[in-house]
Amino acid sequence: QVQLVESGGGLVQAGGSLRLSCAASGRTFSTYNMGWFRQAPGKEREFVGGISRSGGSTYYADSVKGRFTISRDNAKNTVYLQMSSLKPEDAAVYYCAASQHIAPSPILYDYWGRGTQVTVSS
């Protein structure tokens, strides 16, 4: 059982940077692969990227590859999403989630945070 809380969202100018954090409670954080998803109004929830249990492997959606970086600090029970070169189309509610898999489908994630809003102005 893992509880997740996202933070770090806000308003940023296009081209700017923002770092999101996801803090986990519980003592099993390191046993989960972690994913970041986002959902914009009228859109399906979209896989942004994932990171393996140890942090040794990361995967990204093509739309964010080269701009976003996922990392984790298991000692702090925290996963991060560093976003740079932000575009207006990146605006969404961003969610972190925990899974036994690294997969693009939200169905395969067992635990979810409540999300944090990212707004990108142009």
Please report which confidence band the pLDDT of residue 14 belongs to, taking 50, 70 and 90 as the band edges.
Answer: very high
Where are the extended beta strands (E) located within 1-115? 3-7, 10-13, 18-25, 33-39, 46-51, 58-60, 68-73, 78-83, 92-99, 109-112
- Choose among 6, 1, 9, 51: nearest CA to 25: 1
Which whole number is the average pLDDT over 93-111?
Answer: 94
Structure tokens at 100: 């036994």
Q: What is the pLDDT of residue 103?
A: 87
Which whole number is the average pLDDT over 37-57?
Answer: 96
82-92 pLDDT per residue, tens: 999 999 999 99
**What's the CA gap between 29 and 58, in Å, rounded?**
17
Structure tokens at 46: 């979209």
